[in-house]
Amino acid sequence: MQEVVSTPLMLNILAYSSQGMSPEEVQTLQASRYIVLEHYVQRLLRKDMKRTYAPERLKHWLAWLAWQMVQRNQTEFYLERMQPGQVGNDRQRHHYQRTVIRIVTIIQCIVCGGLAAWLKGGLKNGVVGSGNGILGLFGGGPGNSMLGWMSPGIGGGSQGGASLIIILGIVIWLVTILVGRDVLPTLTPQAIWHGLFSGLRAGLKLGLAMSVVAVPFFTVEGGLQHGISYGLGIGFFLGIMVGLLRGLGAGLRYEVQKEPEETASFPDRLIDGFTFGCVGGLSFMVVEDLLQVSHQSTLIYSAIVFLFFFFAYGFGGGTSLFPHLAQTIKPAETVTWSWVHMTQDMGMNSKKSVLVALVTGISVSVVIACVSSLFFFNLSYGLHYGLVFGIISGLIVGIAAILTSMLKSGWSSTMLPEDQHTRPNEGIAHSGRNALLGACFFAPLGGIASGIACGIGFGLIGQLATWPVMAMAFTVMLAIIFFVIFATAHGGIAWIEYYTLRWYLWRAGSMPVDYVRFLDAASEYALLRKVGGGYMFSHRLVLEYFAHQFAQSDR
């Protein structure tokens, strides 16, 4: 009892909560400070004010908040500092992590699927080709005429713009890996060999398997010759895509892969593959429909896109392009730029970027040259086609590596000190804003530089008169890719992680949807008080009381 009445708050609580009680009731009340605090809280909640939340719900949410603060030894609560560890148990945390990974990957699948359809074009008014897509938008002409001698592509159903999709896939995959790394990777001989064998193994497995399935399908549709041509073409296309992505990605992440990491279970991969396949295929289908491509062509190629995303992102490592997702939320609340740091690291980063560009260019050239030469039985065509593809892919990835290294060296983002927060939730809002600002700055740079690289490849090496059209089209598409990836990596991920966490905690009943409104309501009842952009309980004893209530109810 001496402890109870030794603080001014408890004396006030005793006086306030015992009004109108008999002496016997007062003696019983003083038997426990938790009983005293219970009466005090009930009195506060009976205040004559507009009731936004039911008292029992309000007490439940405050009890959860108090328990979290006690567990983390906090006296002040800031919404921006919420972490995945606050999700109930291991199973729920696993589901939360998979949800974040899927949201981030779905964004990429939507962008990649839509851009692939825009680049490919399709069958429209009896004319097949990329002229029905973005290349036609910039004056490329009907069909595949703007591609000149490159119109056959790698063969089969992958003619024209369909083959150019390989460049988009490589850029999206590798740029995501580079942006997601803290430092630019160093490609050692061991990493290159590891990537080579990983890519060959994955490409051959998928290419052969898909050819076996696709040949009978297309044979039924258009005869044996059509089935062999299109079936092998689709198998080669998927094998090349997945093989190159798997191999180049394995090489760039060789050092990271030595570290033990949590691998997704087979059911998770199956769900991931089906989800990403459906999203990517649907995105492709919507754009094809907007371009008024024939329904038959749309359905066939949407199925191919589904298979690509199913294997590449479900089983090929696509969900691990951004490492350490949903483990610690680090919002980019404040950003700074240092020209000094950028110039200091420029020499070393340039060497690494050139090596990445060379390995990418040579790998793409060799693979594309071999496949197209075998398909058309024309070594000259294959070598020329592979050379153009390799130079373009290598230059774009090299540019991406340089931009990424510049960003990593010069751009730094940190979390504001808690005493500098002035409004609830402003840290997450700043993170989203900074993500958009950074992407708006770097995306045009990456798009223009990559467009110039495409112009060099198609014009100087490919000798295409329509190289300005190719350069402008790829500038737009690659600027979109850079924007999405940079915005996601530098502030966007924290935004996604934070609001996904809020959604999970709301589903678990730990907090209401509008958490700021609830915290403000608790402040009006004098159970909490505002501290800048955060909140704290009106007294340590009130915090301990609510934490005790949560512990009792959780037993």
pLDDT tens for each residue of 28-47: 554 456 777 787 788 888 77
Share of the chain above pLDDT 70, in %: 88
Residue 228 has pLDDT above 70, yes or no: yes
Q: How far is CA 450 from the centre of its chain?
A: 22
Answer with the residue of higher pLDDT: 336 or 387. Answer: 387
List CB contacts of 288: < 8 A, sequence separation 6 or more: 117, 122, 297, 298, 301, 302
List CB contacts of 485: < 8 A, sequence separation 6 or more: 108, 172, 175, 176, 179
Q: What is the dihedral of CA 432, 434, 438, 439, to 10 degrees?
A: 20
Residue 3 has pLDDT above 60, yes or no: no
| pLDDT at residue number 62 | 93
| pLDDT at residue number 12 | 64
| pLDDT at residue number 13 | 59
| pLDDT at residue number 231 | 76
Contact call for residues 446 and 478 (beta carbons, < 8 A): yes
What's the sign of the alpha-carbon dihedral 410, 168, 110, 446? positive
Share of the chain above pLDDT 90, in %: 18
* Per-residue pLDDT tens over the stretch 273-323: 999 999 999 999 999 888 887 787 788 888 888 988 898 888 877 777 777
Q: Which of 262, 263, 261, 275 is nearest to 314 (CA)?
A: 275
Q: In the predicted model, what is the mean pLDDT of residues 362-386? A: 84
pLDDT band of residue 2 (cuts 50, 70, 90) is very low
Average pLDDT value over all residues in the chain:
82
Number of other CB atoms surrounding residue 329 within 10 Å: 23
pLDDT band of residue 1 (cuts 50, 70, 90) is very low
d(CA 64, CA 41): 16
For 55-88+509-555, CATH number out of 1.20.120, 1.20.140, 1.10.10, 1.10.150 equals 1.10.10
| pLDDT at residue number 30 | 47
pTM: 0.84
Q: In the predicted model, what is the mean pLDDT of residues 354-364? A: 89
Contact call for residues 476 and 508 (beta carbons, < 8 A): no
Backbone angles phi, psi at 23, to 5 degrees: -55, -35
* Per-residue pLDDT tens over the stretch 229-274: 777 777 777 888 888 888 888 888 776 555 545 567 888 889 999 9
Backbone angles phi, psi at 531, to 5 degrees: -130, 90
Answer with the residue of higher pLDDT: 159 or 287. Answer: 287
Residue 48 has pLDDT above 70, yes or no: no
pLDDT band of residue 102 (cuts 50, 70, 90) is very high
The residue extents of the domains of the chain are 1-46, 55-88+509-555, 89-505
pLDDT band of residue 8 (cuts 50, 70, 90) is low
Within 13 Å, how many C-alpha atoms sit on residue 14's CB side? 20
Residue 419 has pLDDT above 80, yes or no: no
pLDDT band of residue 537 (cuts 50, 70, 90) is very high
Answer with the residue of higher pLDDT: 121 or 555. Answer: 121
